[in-house]
Structure 1
Amino acid sequence: MGFLDFLVPVVMIAGTVAFMEWFAAWSHEHIMHGWGWGWHKSHHEPHEGGLELNDLYAVVFACFAIGLFYVGSFYWQPLLWIAIGITIYGFLYFFFHDGLVHQRWPFKYIPRKGYLKRVYQAHRLHHAVKGKEGCVSFGFVYAEPVDKLVKKLDNQPKPYDKTAHLDDDERPALH
Structure 2
Amino acid sequence: MTPLAAAAVTTATFLGMEFVAWFMHKYVLHGALWFLHRSHHVRHPHRFERNDFFFLFYGSLSMGFIMYSSETKDWPFWVGVGIAAYGTVYFFVHDVLIHGRLRFWRKSSSKYLRALNMAHKMHHKTSARDGSEEFGMLWVSSKYFALARRKKINN
* TM-score (ref. length: structure 1): 0.78
Structure 2 unmatched runs, 5+:
none
The answer to whether the 8 Å contact 1:92/1:141 transfers is no
For residues 105 and 14 of structure 2, what CA distance do their matches in structure 1 show?
27
- CA displacement at 1:82 relative to structure 2: 0.3
Describe the shift of the 1:73–1:129 C-alpha distance in structure 2 as closer, same or farther (beyond 3 A).
same
Structure 1 position 110 matched with structure 2 position 78: no
For residues 91 and 121 of structure 2, what CA distance do their matches in structure 1 show?
16
Where has structure 1 moved over 2 Å in runs of 4 or more? Answer: 110-113, 145-148
Structure 1 unmatched runs, 5+:
151-165, 171-175
Describe the shift of the 1:18–1:147 C-alpha distance in structure 2 as closer, same or farther (beyond 3 A).
closer
Structure 1 position 60 matched with structure 2 position 57: yes
For residue 96 of structure 1, the aligned residue among 93, 97, 102 is: 93
Who is 2:118 aligned against?
121
Q: How many residues align?
A: 150
Structure with more contact order per residue of length (Cα contacts < 8 Å, sep ≥ 6): 2
For residue 51 of structure 1, the aligned residue among 48, 54, 61 is: 48
Higher helix share: 2
Q: Which structure would you say has the larger Rg?
A: 1
- CA displacement at 1:111 relative to structure 2: 3.0
The answer to whether the 8 Å contact 1:65/1:87 transfers is yes
- CA displacement at 1:76 relative to structure 2: 6.6
Who is 1:22 aligned against?
19
Cα deviation code 1:22-64 (max 9, x no counterpart) = 1001100000000010100000011112210000011111011
Describe the shift of the 1:6–1:147 C-alpha distance in structure 2 as closer, same or farther (beyond 3 A).
closer
Cα deviation code 1:129-159 (max 9, x no counterpart) = 23010111001111113459x9xxxxxxxxx
* TM-score (ref. length: structure 2): 0.88
Supply the RMSD in Å over aligned alpha carbons: 2.3
For residues 5 and 52 of structure 2, what CA distance do their matches in structure 1 show?
32
For residues 118 and 42 of structure 2, what CA distance do their matches in structure 1 show?
18
Identity over aligned pairs, percent? 28
